[in-house]
Amino acid sequence: MDSTWLVLLSLALGLVVGAGFVWLLYSAASRSHRATEIVSPTVPDGVDQVLEALPTAGIVVDPSNNVVRASAGAYGLGLVWNAALSQPRLVELVDAVRRTGDPLEEDLELARSALGDATVLLTVRVARLGSRYILLLADDRTEAVRLEQVRRDFVANISHELKTPIGAISVLAEALESAPDDPEQVRHFASRLTNEAGRLARLTQDIIDLSRLQAADIVPHAERVSIDHVVTSAVDQNRVLAESRGIELATGRHSHAIVFGDENLLTTAVHNLISNAVRYSPDRTRVGIGTRLHDGIVEITVTDQGPGIPADDLDRVFERFYRVDQARSRATGGTGLGLSIVKHAVQNHGGEVRVWSKPGSGSTFTIRLPEAEHIAPEPLKPGLPKQAPVKQGERTT
């Protein structure tokens, strides 16, 4: 009997020890599984596909504020760095949503990176994703805000520019009405009235031309155009004004270059450069107009002996209504849109405009266009063969 009890006791102890060992293994496995879930969290099904399809930047954050999923746009905007949110304000929004459970939306201006001063304007939306995660969506509105500001500035500038000739015409009309019996005064006011009406007509036409150029990125119906013919036409349009001030329009040899594009647009662009050079040149000086064909690029160069452009203004002179010398530009009848038209006309032909200038030494503007033999006879897309970067700017009329 004693041996039987010993055997039964041994079996019981063995069962207890075995059960305890099994329980320990199960407990360890459970802890390991929970640890694996924490280290490698799983997000709800379909989130990866949604992030890939979103046009905005998308980020999924776990309870420890680790970024477990992020779209390419989030990385492109610099919102994620080293598996964490790179912007403190984004962390604050995530924490606020985690505390309250309520979605948040906020417009933010954030530094794009710690290496520069570039900023992005974002509309950020933050909300819960399931019970553990937070979803952050960021819509980049930087370009939309910039374009809206450009539009507002353009409307404001147009209003300001139109007020001057319209106001002058109104005053001159009143002066004419008050001096009907003085032929000399009538002739004087009528002459000034004609000048202001012409200025208003030029401004209106320039606004229309610029709007048309900005409405399209390419020339819709490109044809073979002779650059020599374009230059000759542009020079002839400015000859009377130049001769009245004793300014020589000196042209070089013909280049015989051909480009694909719109002859009227190209003639307008060259005409604006020559007109600008004549207006800013002293009397009895010289304006040089030359053409050159080099490595598949056609260059049209206009050089004046005017006062030159300060270095601080070079980056802004192609802006609409920007003038280096406000008083002089108005006195010469400039609209402030001439060089902006040049820039957009040339860009629509797949080209670019460069400028060199030194105060006291004059300025040189160069239009660069791809030669016809180096491009297909189809609507042109912007872009020239790769060249070394050159600082460029423009001066408005």
Domain ranges of the chain: 47-140, 143-215, 218-397
- What is the CATH topology of the domain spanning 47-140? Beta-Lactamase (3.30.450)
> Is 139 in a helix, a strand, or coil?
strand
pLDDT digits (tens, 9 = 90+) for 36-54: 344 445 667 677 777 777 7
What percent of the chain shows pLDDT beyond 90? 33
Antiparallel, parallel or unpaired: β 223-226 and 133-140: unpaired
pLDDT digits (tens, 9 = 90+) for 198-227: 777 767 776 777 766 666 656 667 899 999
Integer-rounded Cα radius of gyration of the chain = 36
Q: How far is CA 7 from CA 13, 21, 260, 302, in A?
A: 10, 21, 105, 114
Which one of 43-57, 163-177, 259-273, 323-337 scores highest in mean pLDDT? 259-273
Q: Which two tokens stand for residue 201?
A: 């007509």
How far apart are the C-alpha atoms of 331 and 199, rounded to whole Å?
11
The reported pLDDT for the residue numbered 393 is 41
Q: Which two tokens stand for residue 23?
A: 């329980």
Q: Which stretch of 178-192, 196-210, 224-238 has the lowest confidence by average pLDDT? A: 196-210
Mean pLDDT of 278-292: 93
The reported pLDDT for the residue numbered 364 is 94
The reported pLDDT for the residue numbered 286 is 94
Does CATH place domain 143-215 in 3.20.20.210?
no
In which order are the strands placed within the sheet that holds 362-370? 248-251, 286-294, 297-303, 362-370, 352-358
The reported pLDDT for the residue numbered 354 is 93
> Is 93 in a helix, a strand, or coil?
helix
Which residue, 312, 280, 305, 318, is CA-closest to 364? 305
* Band of residue 269 on the pLDDT scale cut at 50, 70, 90: very high
How far apart are the C-alpha atoms of 224 and 230, rounded to whole Å?
12
Architecture of the structural domain at 218-397 = 2-Layer Sandwich (3.30)
Tell me if 362 sits within 8 A of 303, measured CB to CB.
yes
Mean pLDDT of 225-239: 95
* Band of residue 196 on the pLDDT scale cut at 50, 70, 90: confident
Is 0.85 topped by the overall pTM?
no
> Is 289 in a helix, a strand, or coil?
strand
Tokens 């010289």, residue located = 286
The reported pLDDT for the residue numbered 144 is 83
* Band of residue 134 on the pLDDT scale cut at 50, 70, 90: very high
